[in-house]
């Protein structure tokens, strides 16, 4: 599948995740949510920023498996990483800076269609991010140690973000697979990114 196909698939998957978030009550929605956000977008609170986060995670994970090769998604990803590193450093968010700096080169450490195309990858990424969050939470604490229970609690609290990770990633793998070749509206070219 090509870049445009993966973006389209990511957008469809993101819309489905956001719809599920509202339908399940994970994101409390009221008729004034959009108006409230447009009037006061900062601080990032409320239904719209949460939905944008879920949508962004889903689309990002739908492109993630192709970050291991020179591609359009890879170029845009590292442009965004560069900006995020600069903003996080100069605004004093050094924990975010460290996380992005350590995690962003991960797709480059293996061959194309390697670990970024594994079925367990989105689960491992969610677990890694929750573990990093727990480490950053306790790193300056003298009386508290790393607790896997806290990692699992974080994953349970933000379960829909884990779902967004998985759905986006699996959408990419589905669009790359040969099993959907019979659908007339999908041009399946797994070697073209």
The tens-digit pLDDT sequence of the chain (193 residues) is 677 888 888 999 999 998 998 888 877 777 676 666 566 555 546 677 778 888 888 888 888 888 777 877 788 888 988 988 888 888 877 777 877 787 788 778 876 667 777 788 888 888 887 787 777 766 666 556 777 888 888 788 878 888 898 999 999 888 888 766 555 545 545 444 4
Asked whether residue 114 is domain-assigned, the answer is: yes
Residue 15 is assigned to a structural domain of this protein:
yes
User: For residue 20, is it within any domain?
Assistant: yes
Q: Is residue 188 part of a domain?
A: no
Residue of 154, 176, 155, 178 lying closest to 62 (CA atoms): 176
- The confidence score (pLDDT) of residue 103 equals 75
The number of distinct structural domains making up the chain is 1
- What is the span of the domain harbouring residue 86? 3-180
What per-residue confidence (pLDDT) applies to 36? Answer: 64
Burial class (CB in 10 A: 0-12, 13-18, 19+), 16: middle
CA distance 151 to 46: 24
pLDDT value at position 144? 66
Q: What angle do CA 162, 61, 174 make, to 5 degrees?
A: 100
- What pLDDT was estimated at residue 13? 93
Length of the chain: 193
**What pLDDT does residue 11 have?**
92
Token pair 């480059």: residue: 108
**Inside any domain, residue 193:** no
Assigned token pair, 58: 């889903």
Within-domain flag for 186: no
pLDDT of residue 35: 65
In a domain, 192, yes or no: no
Tell the burial category of 17 from Cβ atoms under 10 Å away from its Cβ (0-12, 13-18, 19+): buried
Q: Kindly state whether residue 41 falls inside one of the protein's structural domains.
A: yes
């Amino acid at each position: 599948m090509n870049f445009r196909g993966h973006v389209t698939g990511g957008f469809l998957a993101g819309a489905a995740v956001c719809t599920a978030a509202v339908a399940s009550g994970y994101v409390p929605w009221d008729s004034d949510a959009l108006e409230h956000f447009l009037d006061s977008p900062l601080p990032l609170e409320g239904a719209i920023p949460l939905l944008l986060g879920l949508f962004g995670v889903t689309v990002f994970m739908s492109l993630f498996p192709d970050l291991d090769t020179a591609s359009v998604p890879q170029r845009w990803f590292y442009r965004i990483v560069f900006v995020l590193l600069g903003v996080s450093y100069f605004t004093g968010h050094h924990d975010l800076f460290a996380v992005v700096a350590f995690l962003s080169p991960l797709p480059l450490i293996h061959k194309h269609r390697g670990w970024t195309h594994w079925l367990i990858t989105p689960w491992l990424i969610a677990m890694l991010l929750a573990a990093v969050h727990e480490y950053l939470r306790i790193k300056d604490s003298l009386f508290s140690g790393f607790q896997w229970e806290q990692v699992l609690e974080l994953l349970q609290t933000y379960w829909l973000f884990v779902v967004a990770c998985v759905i986006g990633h699996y959408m990419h793998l589905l669009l790359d697979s040969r099993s959907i070749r019979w659908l007339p509206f999908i041009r399946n070219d797994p070697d073209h990114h």
